A = this chain, B = another copy of it.
């Protein structure tokens, strides 16, 4: 039986959606609690400069994460300049992102997809050996502005991106949560068949329409073994109206462990980390397993 690697994104995608600044110490405490629960791949922050004030302490949070043995601490970077900062701060794993939807890309990073492709090429060219690289394709299924994204559009974009950098892991992201499991399975199946050289595929989903677990199951069934999730369902996207949280890590751990697919995560410890997250002022949380287990114990 294949296992699954959950990439915990609460410290980046989640924190980014929280209004009040979360003190750096509290962020680090949460990263450590997630690590203590067994999560070994965490997107700990984003080097985005002034664009997201919540993540202005990227250097400090990354430093704390790098001190945790065996943790694959991933950071998000939008440009070459920010990648330089991330590398200077010690990052060993960087993730770039662009949107399949032109309009979403313009809104999100103020660049056309073609401009973002050039940024991607520059970053790929500058990364020293041994630095892991991930490419996130936002709005791979649906865009908040133009609706459903045709699979062919994503495959055509990947033709260019994979040729530029054949060694990056590629995450297809359901930014709005409007993807359905048949679409998820079909796009991954087509992409994996077309780009056998890609070393790894990942799925990033939101639970806004209740499809988080179903889409993760569909991706896993199609062969995807890396799936993003956010503890306590913390998350959202300021540029995707109606997109509430990422799928809750608790729900995916419950699902995969129930299927005898090892996650390496200790659910009770994860619930403890989630309780800290739920207490953050301004946190919007989600998921079902936490509440179900609470009620079951009464």
Residue of B nearest to A296 (CB): B242
Stretch at the interface among A55-63, A107-115, A175-183: A175-183
CA gap between A254 and B212 in the complex, in Å: 13
Q: Given that A181-B217, A217-B181 are contacting pairs, would A255 and B295 also be in contact in the complex, using a CB cutoff of 8 Å?
A: no
CA gap between A295 and B209 in the complex, in Å: 11
CA gap between A269 and B248 in the complex, in Å: 30
Instruction: Answer yes or no: A244 CB below 8 A from chain B CBs.
Output: yes
Residue of B nearest to A254 (CB): B209
Residue of B nearest to A252 (CB): B210
- The answer, among B180, B181, B208, B217, for a CB contact under 8 Å with A288, is B208
Residues in B with CB closer than 8 Å to A178 are 258
CA gap between A178 and B295 in the complex, in Å: 13
Residues in B with CB closer than 8 Å to A287 are 210
Instruction: Answer yes or no: A198 CB below 8 A from chain B CBs.
Output: no
A256: min CB distance to chain B, Å: 8
Residues in B with CB closer than 8 Å to A295 are 241-242, 244
| Complex contact B213–A210 (CB within 8 A) | yes
| Complex contact A292–B259 (CB within 8 A) | no
CA gap between A210 and B288 in the complex, in Å: 5
Residues in B with CB closer than 8 Å to A181 are 213-214, 217, 255, 259
Residues in B with CB closer than 8 Å to A251 are 209-211
Residues in B with CB closer than 8 Å to A212 are 210
A146: min CB distance to chain B, Å: 14
Residues in B with CB closer than 8 Å to A244 are 292, 295
Within 8 A of B (CB), among A228-242: 241-242
Residue of B nearest to A233 (CB): B210
CA gap between A148 and B259 in the complex, in Å: 12
CA gap between A216 and B213 in the complex, in Å: 11
CA gap between A164 and B216 in the complex, in Å: 40
| Complex contact A211–B180 (CB within 8 A) | no
Instruction: Answer yes or no: A261 CB below 8 A from chain B CBs.
Output: yes
Instruction: Answer yes or no: A13 CB below 8 A from chain B CBs.
Output: no
27 A-B pairs with C-beta separation under 8 A: A177-B292, A178-B258, A180-B255, A180-B256, A180-B258, A181-B214, A181-B217, A181-B259, A182-B217, A182-B258, A182-B261, A183-B259, A208-B292, A209-B288, A210-B210, A210-B248, A210-B251, A210-B254, A210-B287, A210-B289, A210-B292, A213-B214, A214-B216, A217-B218, A242-B292, A242-B295, A242-B296
- Kindly list 14 other residue pairs between chains A and B, CB separation below 8 angstroms, not including A207-B210, A209-B292, A213-B213: A181-B214, A182-B259, A183-B258, A183-B259, A209-B254, A210-B210, A210-B213, A210-B251, A210-B254, A210-B289, A213-B214, A214-B216, A217-B218, A221-B221
A interface residues, Cβ below 8 angstroms from B: 177-183, 207-214, 216-218, 221, 241-242, 244, 248, 251, 254-256, 258-261, 287-289, 292, 295-296, 298
